[in-house]
Amino acid sequence: SRRQRNPYHFSSNRFQTYYRNRNGQIRVLERFNQRTNRLENLQNYRIIEFQSKPNTLILPKHSDADFILVVLNGRATITIVNPDKRQVYNLEQGDALRLPAGTTSYILNPDDNQNLRVAKLAIPINNPGKLYDFYPSTTKDQQSYFSGFSKNTLEATFNTRYEEIERVLLGDDELQENEKQRRGQEQSHQDEGVIVRVSKKQI
Amino acid sequence: PYESGPFNLRSNKPIYSNKFGNFYEITPDRNPQAQDLDISLTFIEINEGALLLPHYNSKAIFVVVVDEGEGNYELVGIRDQQRQQDE
């Protein structure tokens, strides 16, 4: 169709699912300069959209990109964690928030019924048009960035035996399994991935 | 007014300092010349056997030059995933 050939028209199938589980999904629009060099001046901007179900949380992370996010639908509780303080914002439809590069944050959908839909403009700081998410936690879908460090470094850093660090932070599968059985839990957050269900009490 | 002339990285108190080392830094907001270039200058002393704890810089890209001594450096990145494969 004519629309398909229009390089300025990005239909919703131009999004690529970056992450999806039963609690929500994160999608990234293709690079603006991929289809036409007439949009080359937009090469360092990316559009990200995410949706999350009621009473779910997107786990803490930071990215090597500046963000401006806009709540398209629903309600969001966004917590920004800095080295010395923590700020919590309750956002509604139409609210916008700048998330500086490298700040750790997590996003909760506190609503009982309504899905949350957010659009983000990303401005990467290291590589033009490319950004990465860094999660301190381990789930079935990604490893904690702490797992990148050597055993010696982790032991010296946390002043703790590696087995303990592994159990608490790095989520070694076998150990976690034993832990779960010990506590009689049916499912841990680790099994869910990076968008997890949270209880009313936790909200 | 544009300020020029030399300045010393260790003229101010270190930002972090303990018996294992010192971390001096001149940031753009404290020096017009650094502000002009939008750079920070850092001078780090680490005693033998000490570890500068794991950390990251929010937005700064660091170029590290070893002036004296030797050390081990560990850097953690994210493996290129699906997102990059399709590009």
> What does the pLDDT profile of chain B (87 residues) look like in tens digits?
457 889 999 999 999 999 999 999 999 998 999 999 999 999 999 999 999 999 999 999 999 999 999 999 999 999 875 544 444
Q: What is the mean pLDDT of chain A?
A: 91
Which of the two residues, A173 and A142, has the higher pLDDT score?
A: A142
Q: Do A148 and B76 touch (CB under 8 A)?
A: yes
Q: Please provide residue A99's backbone torsions phi and psi, each rounded to the nearest 5 degrees.
A: -115, 105
CA closest to A99 among chain B residues: B58
pLDDT band at residue A105 using 50, 70 and 90 as cut-offs: very high
- Residue A152, pLDDT > 80, answer yes
Q: For residue A171, how many C-alpha atoms fall within 13 Å in the half-sphere facing its CB?
A: 18
Q: Is B77 on the interface with A (CB under 8 A)?
A: yes
State whether A16 and B59 contact (CB < 8 Å). Answer: no
Please state, in angstroms and rounded to a whole number, the distance separating the CA atoms of residues A181 and B44: 47
Burial class (CB in 10 A: 0-12, 13-18, 19+), A12: exposed
Cα angle A166, B20, A136; round to 5 = 30
- Interacting residues of A157 by C-beta distance below 8 A, sequence separation 6+: A149, B51, B53, B54
pLDDT of residue B86: 45
Closest approach of A125 to chain B, Cα-based (Å): 7
Partner A, chain B 15-54, Cβ-Cβ below 8 Å: 51, 53-54
Please state, in angstroms and rounded to a whole number, the distance separating the CA atoms of residues B56 and B60: 9
Work out the minimum CA distance from B11 to partner chain A, whole angstroms: 25
- Kindly determine whether residue B87 and residue A31, on different chains, have CB atoms separated by under 8 Å: yes
Q: How far is A166 from chain B (nearest CA, A)?
A: 16
pLDDT over 70 (residue A187): no
Q: Are B17 and B10 in contact (CB under 8 A)?
A: no
Q: Can you read off the two tokens belonging to residue A74?
A: 């629903």
Please name the helix (run of DSSP H) or strand (run of DSSP E) that holds residue B45, with its range, or none: strand B41-46
Of B56, B76, B86, which has the smallest distance from its Cβ to A102's Cβ? B56
Condensed to tens digits (0 to 9), the pLDDT of residues A133-150 reads: 999 999 989 999 999 999
Nearest alpha carbon to residue A75 among A55, A100, A47: A55
Task: Tell me the pTM.
Answer: 0.87
Which of B58, B74, B78 is closest, CB to CB, to A153? B74
> Measured between CA atoms, how close is A35 to chain B, in angstroms?
11
Other Cβ atoms within 10 Å of B85 Cβ, number? 8
